Structure 1
Amino acid sequence: MDVDMAVGDDGLTVGRTAEAVGISVRTLHHWDAIGLVTPAERTWSDYRVYSASDIARIQQVLMYRELGLSLSEVRTLLDDPDADVVEQLDVQRALLSERIDRLRHMVAAVDQMKEAHMSDSRLTAQQQAEILGDDWNPAWQDEAQENWGDTAEWDQAEKVRARMSADDFTRVKDELEQLEGDLAAAMTGGVRPGTDQANVLAERHRAQIGRWFTVSHQKQVRIARMYVQDPRFQEHYDARADGLAAWLTAIIDENARCQGIDPESATWE
């Protein structure tokens, strides 16, 4: 319905106005009660009717509401001669742009999950080993599953791994290489545990593991214990720089202390 053409000299009743603009009668009554859109005309039987200018105001309200403004903000823009309409619209435009970006990221994530399920793109253990390089032993996967396969962390990590493509695994490997290189450079450069630089590296380490499952500072401390207790971990880190395993454990402990955690009593939580 063309609302402007539908409004005659006598205006439209509440019911016809609601139908014409696509909102409820209850909404119009509410807007009337709060002074947002108050029809001034009345019929001979004392029913309020909406004139063409009233309906034009309703359409303005609907436009501003679609942009995300509150009713009080809309009323200010429509009634306050000093209101800066352009400034308010700039704010709403920025908010809408942020929302669009978030929605685009959500769409991309949905597409990625859909593609993974449709293509059954989960990599085999052999494919993962080829990407991760000669240092990776597929038997470690079996050992890890035997030790932690019944934990929530293992389940979370498996769900992440199932969605990963070959490019994802390559990127993870490259990021890990970069992190371990930075750790070795920091240790040999004399960075001391507990300093800001060491704490940043400890947080990067936690984030690296956190891509697989949720890692608290306490969990990180417990994980780091393996770096000095399991000869395989110690050999891996110390191959980059002598003493790196112990130094990495130390910076993780000191970073945990900065968070109010006693590393000696840290639990898996």
Structure 2
Amino acid sequence: MTDNAMDDAAGPGGMAVGAAASHAGVTVRTLHHWDAIGLVRPSGRTAGGYRLYSAADVARIHRVLIYRELGLSLDDIGGLLDAPTTDMTVPLRQQRAQLLDRISRLQTMVDAVDRLIEAAGAGILLSAEEQVAIFGQSWKPSWLADARDRWGDTAQWAQSAERAAGRTSEDWQQIADNIATLESDLAAAKRADVRPGSAEANALAERHRASIGEYFDCTHSMQVCLGRRYAADPGFTAYYDAIEPGMTAWLRDIIDANARDRGIDPDSATWS
């Protein structure tokens, strides 16, 4: 019989090393190491000199595992286990408090992941009623499902979902208010015949790009692509032209002129 086989054999007065290792969910080699460094030494030996672990030894093994789970080094664990105390429940209560704190932190992480999963599917973590209340009566909650179907596999949708997961209804209200102010300023500029490429028009184009940036990082080239879509999509055209007649084409023009001033050729701009 090999040494390991003898170690695994049951003996009177305790648990053999193989059984103790299996009970604790560690390897026999681990228990041998812990014995060598004095962390968990078996209380008994067989007549042949093989390790036997008492119930107290096995309990110490489990306490070592708890401390390891908390991230302590083996040296620190040994010091904690061997520290004198008049009340053996004190370290156990400390362990319990640390475990509860870790559970709380892990639950917070789980909740954050759940919100991210939900946001990836829904786009915005608001009910349909909340969306209309925040974004206005012209808002259609179905637009989010359409957007997910169209762009749900893109990096921009993933980035937008990640940002949405951390936003409250108050955050969305601030974003909606900023967009409403921007659209009002765009309409006023269109009525005043502000020329595309002028400083005022470029500033408005940058504000528009920043509004898109609330959802995902938007380059000037990507903004040009959005301007094209606004002009080509009847839904977008109806939306912007309802704010101010002709605003869709004018918005596309100020986006193009602003991009051109920054070295982007609108005619060859790509989603990048």
After superposition, give the CA deviation of every residue in 1:192-232 in whole Å (9 maximum; x if it has no partner).
00001100000000000011101000000001111111111
Q: What is the deviation of 1:124? A: 3.1
User: What is the correspondence of 1:1-269 to structure 2 with a 5 Å cutoff?
Assistant: 117=112, 122-269=125-272
Q: What is the deviation of 1:241? A: 1.1
* Letter matched to residue 132 of structure 1: F
Distance in 2 between residues matched to 1:119 and 1:231, nearest whole Å = 36
Larger gyration radius, structure 1 or structure 2: 2
After superposition, give the CA deviation of every residue in 1:29-55 in whole Å (9 maximum; x if it has no partner).
xxxxxxxxxxxxxxxxxxxxxxxxxxx
8 Å Cα contact 2:190/2:247 also seen in 1: yes
TM-score (norm 2): 0.54
Distance in 1 between residues matched to 2:157 and 2:113, nearest whole Å = 24
Distance in 1 between residues matched to 2:160 and 2:133, nearest whole Å = 20
* Alignment CA distance shift 1:119-1:147 (3 Å): closer
* Alignment CA distance shift 1:167-1:118 (3 Å): farther
| RMSD of aligned Cα (Å) | 2.2
* Letter matched to residue 177 of structure 1: A
* Alignment CA distance shift 1:123-1:158 (3 Å): same
Unaligned runs of 5+ in 1: 1-112
The runs of 4+ residues in structure 1 deviating greater than 3 Å are: 116-122
* Letter matched to residue 203 of structure 1: E
8 Å Cα contact 1:122/1:163 also seen in 2: no
* Alignment CA distance shift 1:156-1:125 (3 Å): farther
8 Å Cα contact 1:132/1:173 also seen in 2: yes
* Letter matched to residue 129 of structure 1: V
Q: How many correspondences in the alignment?
A: 156
* Alignment CA distance shift 1:155-1:220 (3 Å): same
Unaligned runs of 5+ in 2: 1-107, 116-123
1:73 aligns to what? none
TM-score (norm 1): 0.55
8 Å Cα contact 2:112/2:165 also seen in 1: no
Q: What is the deviation of 1:169? A: 1.0
Q: What is the deviation of 1:126? A: 3.9
8 Å Cα contact 2:128/2:141 also seen in 1: yes
SS in 2 for 1:157: helix
SS in 2 for 1:205: helix
Distance in 2 between residues matched to 1:194 and 1:259, nearest whole Å = 11
* Alignment CA distance shift 1:229-1:118 (3 Å): closer
